[in-house]
Structure 1
């Protein structure tokens, strides 16, 4: 299994990056956000990868963060979701948007993604809630948002305990669309009540 690829950006080819590693070009399918970055030829790129193997194909899928890779792997575990669909889901929005759609049971968010019909969208929502613990009292936002952990750390720097910080974030409405700075302000208001 190839877990990470670091090399020189060569070119974009059919919704994938070609990354040159010691003279070998790896074709890595990536989310649209990565494709839209304008990397210069020869620029160093580093991607966490998922190696997809079937009897007729061997493909690499690349991500900027381990969190995105983990979400991709979780999506693959859902019946009816293959790597192309999982990549489309990740390309459809940021982790916060996806988390918010799951928390809200927003089937329409997922049905706008190519390859995702109503039944698959419902299955994604149900399975991700169960897999990521949203039905067990764990906030899905905690699992998929980097802003969450940054906010908890900032609140701890202000002298609050870990549990106080986490509890204040649980009560904030619309947190999936907020920046770390906005979350800190809202959390401080909540703690101050």
Structure 2
């Protein structure tokens, strides 16, 4: 009887379905609460015991990371809409980074793909293959002709690493008091912008 009550009375047919439903429940909880969630929260929402969730995800961080990956496409679609039509590299990146910082604070599971947002997260994750791939996918969806600015594939990857490290610093220490949106954009435009256009100087 307990098995039928769990999973909303509809147990998954296999491990893949179980994992997908756990992630979907986590994404829904995060979207509703706007905060990190625990294994116990997800287990309760599914009507199962915590050990069932632990069978697929050994920790809350692992589940949050899986939730982030599941949410990436939606985030990238929203980001692409935000910067649509911006062909100037500095303006596009200033707007894109400011938007991303806001979105990550609003949906903390996305932050696990980009930075160490808690003491239990791995600070080295910012340079992981996963984070780099996320960053490359992000900026390649911009309407910017990166080759016009002197970027080849290698230098574009280095730019992504620089941008990820920049965002990580804001996740860890947003400032005291934190900059307003206008102040943040002005700061990014001045200092990050200088780094972005430096590549064209190197190529010349």
Which range, TM-score by smaller chain?
0.3 to 0.5
Could you state the TM-score of these two structures normalised by the residue count of structure 1? 0.34
When you count strand as a share of all residues, which structure comes out higher?
1
